[in-house]
Chains A and B, each alone.
Chain A
Amino acid sequence: MVFAESMQFGQNTSDNLNPADSTMPLLKKSGEILRIREKTSYVMTSTLGHSWIVGSSTNGLVGTNVGTQDGQQQVVGGAGRVESRTSVVNPNNTYNETFDFTTFEDTGVTTADWADTPGSLIMTAGEIAQSTAVAYGGNTITYATITITVSAGSVSDLTITLTANGSSFEASTNATIHNFTTTGTDLRFKITSAGNVTVSDVQIQYGG
């Protein structure tokens, strides 16, 4: 006989009066695995505006210069620059937000504490957490499943919406696949809380 890999086969234990048996249960090993998880990558472009940039043919002159990219007198800093995301991709079409960074926080809408305490989205009644594009520029997204994990409070206090085109938010249910009425290539989520809730993790699986 061979060692079974686990207890799942329901091996019987005999008393000592029976012949010796080599069968014995093996305890399932409790492995501890460390792995580096690659999460989201995104690329954005930034125009030069009227920032002074060393070596730039338009924005790199010393002294008065209104021949900058946006035609204004150049200044040190990031003046007049316009940022545009060109792509946001996730391994296996799965976005994982652990609230360690504000990279995907839409600061113009969000009122909750997004990563103020690293690892947490802390919400009180009436507060909103909205992301920027968490997937962008790829294949058309027709469905998504958002799964929210809380460390305090209840998911039932959260109103969850998703958009696949960046603007048409549609009501969604936690851990339930949502088929978009309006499809697109700009996936975002929005959470509104009716109580005190601390979110530790948001995962969105999507496809089309």
Chain B
Amino acid sequence: MVVSSVGLNRIVALVAADIVDGRAGTDTTLPTAGDTNLVTPVAASESDVDVITSNASFSVTHVIAATAANGNSLTEWQIRMNAEATQLNRTVLAAVAKNATIEVTKITLFDVLGE
């Protein structure tokens, strides 16, 4: 038995189509699988994401514009799915001091494996 490549690619397409947006926040609590949301979200950091698929992989790019979320030290990030904004993942990264002189881009790569 084997999971076929076209099946994996189809699953990736379905997941990718369900991804809606990304947000950032200012908390530094390490993520766990039980997390359902950012601890301290910054509403202005919310924006649609670009999702690109390739084979059984997909990348999610979240850009925070120069005019958004300024004055915050962004540390936690999330990718959200569907109309209910279900969290796909939460990531804690090194702090970025957001101000009007920079845009911030966060990219995360995923793939779907059949084992």
- A residues at B contact (CB < 8 Å): 30, 32-48, 53-60, 69, 86-87, 89, 96, 98, 100-101, 103, 115, 118-119, 137-138
Contacts and interface: CB of A to CB of B under 8 A. Distances in A.
Contact of B108 (A41, A48, A98, A138): A41
Given A43-B106, A53-B67, A101-B52, A36 B15 contact: yes
Among B3, B55, B96, B106, the one with the most A-chain Cβ atoms within 10 Å of its Cβ is B55
B94 A48 contact: no
Interface in B18-58: 52, 54-57
Contacts, number: 119
Nearest to B94: A87
Interface of B: 1-3, 8, 11, 15, 52, 54-57, 59, 65-67, 77, 89, 91, 93-94, 96, 100-115
Contacts of B111: 36-37, 39, 96, 98, 100
Nearest to B53: A100
Contact of B107 (A35, A42, A96, A138): A42
A37 B110 CA distance: 6
Contact of B109 (A39, A60, A87, A119): A39
Main secondary structure of the interface of B (DSSP, over half): strand
A58 B107 CA distance: 27
A100 B114 contact: no
Nearest to A104: B109
Among B2, B52, B111, the one with the most A-chain Cβ atoms within 10 Å of its Cβ is B111
B102 A48 contact: yes
Nearest to A40: B109
A34 B3 contact: yes
